[in-house]
Amino acid sequence: MKRLVLFMLLVGGASLLGLKPTYAAQGSIPIPAQYWSFESPLGKFDRSALQRGLQIYIEICASCHSLRHVRYQDLEFIGYSREDIQRIARDYEVQDGPDDEGQMYQRPALPQDFFVEPFANAQAARAANGGAYPPDLSLITLSRRNALNYTAALLQGYRDAPPGVRLTEGKYYNIYFPGKQIGMPPPLLDDIIDYEDGTLASVDQMALDITTFLAWAAEPKAEKRKTIGLQVVIFLFFLLLLVLASKKRIWKNI
């Protein structure tokens, strides 16, 4: 019993201090834990990291992976102006219609449109990727336990296959992927892009930035939700004080 209580105290203390354990998928090495500023109850996203992550998505990830639950106008939350958003959106075309003649047509994307998908349908996506279907990234950071750390580690986990390991055709060796053979080629290489803010585009930096962006994409209004939650807690605290004061005044003579 004492050991159980001690264990609970240690876990609780680690949570308060912001420490996080590492996890290991079966047959894989432990996944390194990272610090994510937005994970704490009042934490906020690093706007610079979000904008760098968007740049990575547009220049690297968007050629295969969709972001179908995010609208271009949502980018206002990460610091883009209306003009910036319009500029980003009109680089893509969406199907619209029918027109007055009953025909569908293509038009530049608008801020209220969802991010344009790279393929017309799942069959086209599989055909372009050797039979593999690139998953949508909108909710990828909510798809599994320890998903943030796993995503960042996976992007940094590509290695040359060790001697004696025979890779299946079309597979790549990744130390963090279950089974260590993954169908996605290494998406990140040092200096593969030029960050607009001048940050050094190393693999580890890009892995953290794109993971941060995908965490925001999964919950674009997370910061607003936390703010409302804090306001509710403060309201309930003062309501409690008022109730206690009223109780004391009403029942003081009894």
Q: What DSSP string describes 85-118? A: HHHHHTTSEEEE---TTS--EEEE--TTSBPPPS
Tell whether the model's pLDDT for residue 15 goes beyond 80: no
Tell whether the model's pLDDT for residue 34 goes beyond 90: yes
Does residue 85 contact residue 74 with C-beta atoms inside 8 Å?
Answer: no
Average pLDDT over residues 177-184: 92
Architecture in CATH for domain 45-70+138-228: Orthogonal Bundle (1.10)
Count Cα neighbours of 115 within 13 Å in the Cβ-side half-sphere. 21
Does residue 208 contact residue 149 with C-beta atoms inside 8 Å?
Answer: no
pLDDT digits (tens, 9 = 90+) for 221-253: 877 776 777 678 788 878 888 888 787 777 766
DSSP character for 200? -
Does residue 165 contact residue 159 with C-beta atoms inside 8 Å?
Answer: no
Whole-number average pLDDT of the chain: 85
User: pTM, whole model, 2 decimals?
Assistant: 0.80
pLDDT digits (tens, 9 = 90+) for 186-229: 999 999 999 999 999 999 999 999 999 999 999 988 777 767 77
